Every structure is written in structure tokens, then in C-alpha cells.
Amino acid sequence: MTRFHQLPLRSRLALLTAVAVAFAVALSAAACWLITRDRLTEQLDTSLGTVEVNSDYVQAISARCAGSPLNVRFQPTPYTIQLVSASGYVCTSPNKAPIPAQRVDQAVADGRLASAVHTTKDENGASMRVSTVPYRGPIADVQGNRVAISVAAPMDQVTDPLNQLALVLLVVAGVGVLGAATAGLWVARAGLKPVDRLTAAVEHVARTQDLTIRIPTDGEDEIARLSRSFNAMTAALAASRDLQQQLIADAGHELRTPLTSLRTNIDLLERSERSGRPIPAADKEALLASVKAQMGELAALIGDLQVLSRPPETGAGDGAASVRVVALHDIVGTALERARLRGPSLTITADLDPWYVRAEPAALERAVVNLLDNAVKFSPSGGTVEVRLAGGALTVRDHGPGIPPEELPHVFERFWRSPSARSLPGSGLGLSIVARTAEQAGGGVRLRNAPGGGTEALLTMPGAPTPPPDIPGAADGPADEPGEQGTLPGA
């Protein structure tokens, strides 16, 4: 079996085809041989049963065996005729080899059987087919017992055709098996051509890392489906690699600015220390504040990159185990407190209805904070940020300059920043994180220009106004009222 599994697939298919055909041909040949043998034996038995032996011939055989032969000329016959007594004594026609009496022949002579047909061998070892019937004439053996008459013919007329038939069947079966193996090999080669193309494509990708290769597909069979799946996989891998390369390039570009600023500031501090000419206290304080701000920007950028680099099923915590039912209104309330600290000159209003979703709490809070930070950053001093949560839709509206319509399709792209906002702090990853978090939770997010100016962000999350019964607090407030229960996705 080990050697069989080491063979190429087409060789195994051809071998299995040959074995299956050989087995079917062997069964057919054996059935044909057995049926032919039974028919030939039946015909021989019928011919033996139709042989009539007249009484004069029987008396002449009996007299010859008794030592007083009659003046009778025995005609040549292909049959062996002999008398069988109940004691087992036989008297055979001249020029024929005696055939030892069998018990069934004795039973026929004794009257216990009406007839008997069997195969045995004569004294020369030749196989004979014997038909024995009772003799109704006056002849008896030396003890006076009645006798039976047996008519026998050589089995050669059955075995010779059977041997020829076996030889023919063997030749035909051999040719059939050889043809089946050849046909199986041809069919295997033709049928496995798509597999060969797929194998060559996989080997090419493994050898060259070329993900642009595509396999032509035709039909709806398993090979075509496998080819389409391979094409989809390579396309996804190519897109993933392009995104990875783009992410690396964009990250390098974004990291260069704060790193350059840090290096410049540190060089100034180092040169001041080396030259012995101290920097004025106000300038040094501003320089250190700049260094601290650049380090904070680097830390935020690295944190955003870590969030975006995690697989979709991992999220920001411990994977699927950290996904649970959370109160979105509580998360929004916590994020509002942080937003008010970051925009002390702004007026932030909130109208939050209860809403429970199934999500990873830390990732969801980060997404909400990013939306609020975006509104705080673009709101004018003394402006208002309006936050509303109703029916699973979180709306964050600011009264800032808004976003040009041609830039709206790009706001969720990684590292994309509006030309008018590139002077403001940020990495361009905040809205990408929001979009990713919403997508993982089965929701969505979009931005639009609000009537009267400003930008309105809409985050939708599937959920329910009440938690499932197994969540603490499910029996509080309106959760007990009829018609208020909701169903959480996957709960």
C-alpha cells in the first residue's frame, strides 16, 4: 500500500481502473464458463438418456462375461455399455475399459433408485459420464440378483470445449484488462489536465511569489470550482499584500514627520549641551513640550497601527472570548466624559436611549471616542457637538467647516487626511478603526455634510433596546414591559 500511495495520481487511477475491469471480466468469464459447463453436461446427459440398448445386445454382453459368448458381432459405438449388479459386479461391452460400479449404480440395480447420473473414471483413468437405469429383462447375475444397465460416454466432449472456452476467455480478458489500463491512463491524463494546471500554478506561486497568475475555468464541475476558489484566493492574497505594502509605505510616511521633528529637537538640545550655550528657559520649555507632543503622536500612531494589524476575528482584546453583550449607551457616556475634557470650550449635548449590542467593549469604546474626537477637533471654539443614540443609530454632529463632497469617499481610507486638516494632529487612522469596528459588529458607519454646516457621522449597530434575560439588569426598567424585548445578533 505504501508503494501504491507513492505512485502518481494518474497511475493510481489507471491501476484502479484496470483492477476494477479485471475483476468484472473475471466474474463475467467465470459465469460464462460455469453456464457453458452446465449446458454441455446437460446435453450429454440428455444424449445418454436417449441411448436404447436392445435385449439381444445385453444378452450377448452377459453371455460373453459368463464365458459362453454368443455368435454376435458387436457394432462399434462411442458409448461404453455395461451391466451392473447389486453386488457391484460389472460386465462391460467389448473393447471398452470397465467402469467401477458406484453405490448409486448398485442402488439402481437393487431397485432403491429409479436412475442415476454421475461422473467417474474408468480403469484407464479416463473421466466418464455414466447414466444408469434398471434393466427389465430376464438377465440376472450369478447370485440371481437383478442388474442395471449403464451407458457411459467420455467427458472429453464436455471438457475439451470448456478448455478451449477458458483459453479464449483468458485471452479476451487479458486484452480487455490491458485495454482498460490503457484507456484508464488516457482518461486519467485527460481528466487530470485541470489538476495539472492547478498544480503548476500553485508551484509557480510557491516558487516566484507571483500572485497575479489566474487559472482558466470552464464548467461547473469540482475542478472548475477548485480553480475558481484558487483564483479567488490568489486575488485575495494579492490584495492583502498590496494593502500590507500600502500600509507599510503609509506608516513609514506618517512616522517620518514626527521622527524628523523629534530628531531636530533632540539635536538642538544636544548641541546646546555640547556647546555650553544654554537655550532660554521659555524656548527649552517649548522644545520639551514639542518633544512630548511628538512622542504622544508616535504612541497614538503605533497604537492605531496595532489595532488595524490584528486579524478581523481578534479585535482589540482576547479574540472571540472578549465579544459580549454591552450597553452602547454606557460606552457613549464614558466617551463623552473624555470628549468634554479634550474640548472644554465646547458644548456637548447628549440624548442617549438604551441600546445593547454584541461587540468587543474596548474596540467599540475606541471607535466611539474616535468619532467624538473627530467632532471635537473640527468644531470651532465655543461651538456645539450634538450626540444622539436612538434605535441603534449613534449620530455625532459638529458645526465645523464640513467635508468637501469630493473628499467624502476617502474619509475611511487608512492614512487619508483632508488637505485642509493636515496641519492638525492625527494619523488619519481614526475613521478607519471606526469603520473596521462597525463592520466586525455587523454594523456600518458613514459621514455626510449636515444641513446648515458641519459634519454628521452616523454609526449604526445591530442590537436591541433591552439585554437578553441572562444579562444582569435585564429585568430592570422597561425590560419587563410587553413588546419591548429585542433580539441581539448571535444571542
Rounded Cα distance between 429 and 307, Å, is: 10
Residue 447, beta-bridge partner list: 457
Helix or strand holding residue 308 (H, E) = helix 281-309
- pLDDT score recorded for residue 177: 82
Rounded Cα distance between 183 and 177, Å, is: 10
Residue 131 neighbours by CB under 8 Å, 6+ apart: 45, 48, 49, 51, 115, 116, 117, 150, 151, 152
Alpha helices in 72-155 (DSSP H): 103-110
- In this structure, is the dihedral angle defined by the CA atoms of residues 39, 44, 45 and 47, taken in order, positive or negative? positive
Task: For the chain, give percent helix, strand, coil, nearest 5.
Answer: 55, 15, 30
- In this structure, is the dihedral angle defined by the CA atoms of residues 416, 419, 421 and 426, taken in order, positive or negative? positive
Helix or strand holding residue 118 (H, E) = strand 116-121
At residue 25, what is the residue type? Answer: V
**Region 442-467: what's the mean pLDDT?**
89
Do 227 and 194 form a contact (C-beta atoms < 8 A)?
A: yes
Do 114 and 108 form a contact (C-beta atoms < 8 A)?
A: yes
- Report residue 8 as a C-alpha cell: 502518481
**347-352 and 393-397 beta bridge pairing:** unpaired
pLDDT above 80 for 271? yes
- pLDDT score recorded for residue 150: 92
Q: Which residue has the higher pLDDT, 298 or 171?
A: 171
| Model pLDDT for residues 147-156, shown as the tens digit of each residue | 899 999 999 9
Tell the burial category of 491 from Cβ atoms under 10 Å away from its Cβ (0-12, 13-18, 19+): middle
Low-confidence winner among 38-47, 79-88, 134-143, 299-308 (lowest mean pLDDT): 299-308
Rounded Cα distance between 250 and 401, Å, is: 26
Do 31 and 210 form a contact (C-beta atoms < 8 A)?
A: no
pLDDT interval class at 427 (50, 70, 90):
low
Which of 330, 474, 450 is closest to 389 using CA atoms? 330
Rounded Cα distance between 159 and 147, Å, is: 30
Rounded Cα distance between 334 and 368, Å, is: 10
| Model pLDDT for residues 392-406, shown as the tens digit of each residue | 899 999 988 888 888
Rounded Cα distance between 182 and 21, Å, is: 12
Q: What is the DSSP string of 154-209?
A: ETHHHHHHHHHHHHHHHHHHHHHHHHHHHHHHHHHHHHTHHHHHHHHHHHHHHHH-
In the chain the domains, ranked by start, together with CATH numbers, are 1-191 (3.30.450.20), 222-309 (1.10.287), 319-480 (3.30.565.10)
b/e per residue 231-256 (b: at least 16 CB within 10 A): beebeeeeeeeeeeeebeebbeebbe
| Model pLDDT for residues 326-351, shown as the tens digit of each residue | 999 999 999 898 888 888 889 999 99
- pLDDT score recorded for residue 428: 62
What is the end-to-end Cα distance of the chain in Å, rounded? 50
Distances (CA, A) of 155 to 44, 150, 161, 172: 9, 15, 10, 26
Rounded Cα distance between 10 and 70, Å, is: 79
- pLDDT score recorded for residue 195: 77
Rounded Cα distance between 398 and 256, Å, is: 31
pLDDT interval class at 119 (50, 70, 90):
very high
What Rg value do the Cα atoms of the chain yield, rounded? Answer: 52
Low-confidence winner among 119-128, 176-185, 393-402 (lowest mean pLDDT): 176-185
